[in-house]
Amino acid sequence: MKQEITDSKTLVIPKDYKTTLGLIETQKAIKGLKDCFQTNLSKSLNLTRVSSPLFVLPETGINDNLNGEKAVSFDIPTLSKNAEVVQSLAKWKRFALKKYGFESGAGLYTDMNAIRKNEELDNLHSLYVDQWDWELVIEKSERNIEKLKEIVNKVFNVFKEVEEFAFVNYGIEKILPEEIHFMTTQELLDKYPELTPKERESAIIKEKQAVFLMKIGGQLSNGEIHDGRSPDYDDWDLNGDILFYNPVLDDVIELSSMGIRVDEEALDRQLKIRGCDDRRELDYHKMLMNGELPYTIGGGIGQSRICMYFLRKAHIGEVQVGIWPEEMVEECKRAGVNLL
């Protein structure tokens, strides 16, 4: 589908865009898709739903700094402490698996809500993050590419089941391929050496339609990294992103970031690479280095992005309520993009 770029540098309006569902129908469909996805995900990976925190104490080391972003924080006068809104639950989930006594082959999932105050607002990015965070206990011997691919294929089959649900209930055309394509960031660089990382993703996704891009965070042969990853949750050799082709925007949409989590050796190595040795004094990191936490695989799956993708929406604001620049609101209104 051809696109027209508006005066805003961050907004894409597809040519002749017309949403297939009205506002009320969209709200009903959001619930239907979310119910379908989480039900099938929990069955496929043997996950139990649990409650999770909206905020944590920074001294615990449980919060994530992502690529260096500063978390939203606030004072708690009654405790004389400062708390941070979670940026992800990657580390908290691993601690929870130990606390609740989950055995190997079983895990948890939860609703994660976060605020990304410094996010650049566009069709795919908002100030509000809503995703399913999940985590599964594995054996140390399963910390390998084969196990990673096995879980990725299970998650991809859940996407296929949701696509069938969207087709049956809302008449949305099915476009996912039968299988997801696996590729490393180094292989992607070798294939498109002249392109930027995001341009490489766009190029490969138009060819393969669904890709699990592996090994994100480590240095590539050109001395750069494909994308940033925190050094203390994913093992950079055993992680990746699930990327789909978005026909509405004619570009890539990332729906999940996941991976096998660091063990003692990977944590030690990656903290040194990123110059984050000060984190070794945090409670979480001490537990991990002492072998007190289970070996796990896990990730986050964007709830609004899933709804946006399967309902063929042009803007994430069509499936979640947010705050947007006034000029973006007006441009969307003129183009028939119904922001909630």
Catalytic residue list: 64, 116, 131, 241, 254, 257
- The C-alpha angle with vertex 217 and arms to 249 and 281, in degrees rounded to 5, equals 130
The secondary structure of 111-176, three-state, reads EEEEECCCCCCCCCCCCEEEEEEEEEECCHHHCCHHHHHHHHHHHHHHHHHHHHHHHHHHCCCCCC
List the structure tokens of 294: 């289970």
Cα–Cα distance measured from residue 21 to residue 319, given in angstroms and rounded to the nearest whole number: 11
CB-CB contact of 270 with 231 (8 Å): yes
Q: Which letter, b or e, does each residue of 27-57 get, where b requires 16 or more Cβ atoms within 10 Å of its Cβ?
A: eebbebbbebbbebbbeebebeebebbebbb
How many Cβ atoms from other residues are within 10 Å of residue 219's Cβ? Answer: 12
Backbone angles phi, psi at 70, to 5 degrees: -85, 130
Q: Residue 260 gets which letter from DSSP? A: E
- Asked if 67 contacts 228 with a C-beta cutoff of 8 angstroms, the reply is yes
